[in-house]
């Protein structure tokens, strides 16, 4: 079985400050992990993914995520937040060797204040 948790419904950060959006997962084996972003009234857009190898993954728009196997986490980060980063962020997990249907978290609303 696979599951993912995003413990924060909302994250508030000031523009220019670093941001972190948290994600933890549970899988039977090893995970494939994904981050997506959804801007208002839009579909989800792929940001980045972890498959294997380097634990720090870089993606679109200056975002990166760190895979931590011991803590079963895959937190999304950005060194300096922009107001335009305000959106809904979804983490997703898929168990390697399992179904290729991913499980999504409930989403975290990121609000960047000017």
Site for another protein, rule CB under 8 A: 9, 32, 34, 36, 41-46, 49, 51, 90, 94, 96, 98, 100-102, 104-107
- Euclidean distance between CA atoms 84 and 40, whole angstroms: 11
With a CB cutoff of 8 Å and minimum separation 6, the contacts of 91 are 4, 6, 21, 23, 25, 33, 34, 35, 74, 76, 104, 105
- Euclidean distance between CA atoms 88 and 52, whole angstroms: 26
Closest to another protein by CB, 101 vs 114, is: 101
Instruction: Give min distance, CB of 97 to another protein, in A.
Output: 8
Closest to another protein by CB, 21 vs 105, is: 105
Instruction: Give min distance, CB of 72 to another protein, in A.
Output: 18
User: Which residue(s) pair with 94 in the sheet?
Assistant: 32
Closest to another protein by CB, 70 vs 99, is: 99
Instruction: Give min distance, CB of 65 to another protein, in A.
Output: 13
């Amino acid at each position: 079985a696979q599951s993912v948790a995003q413990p924060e419904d909302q994250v508030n950060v000031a523009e220019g400050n670093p941001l972190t959006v948290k994600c933890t997962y549970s899988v039977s084996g090893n995970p494939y992990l994904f981050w997506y972003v959804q801007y208002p009234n839009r579909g989800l857009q792929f940001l980045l993914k972890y498959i294997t190898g380097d634990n720090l993954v870089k993606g679109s728009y200056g975002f990166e995520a760190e895979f931590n196997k011991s803590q079963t986490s895959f937190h999304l980060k950005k060194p300096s937040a922009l107001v335009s980063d305000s959106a809904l962020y979804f983490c997703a997990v898929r168990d390697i060797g399992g179904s290729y249907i991913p499980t999504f978290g409930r989403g975290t609303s990121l609000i960047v204040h000017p």
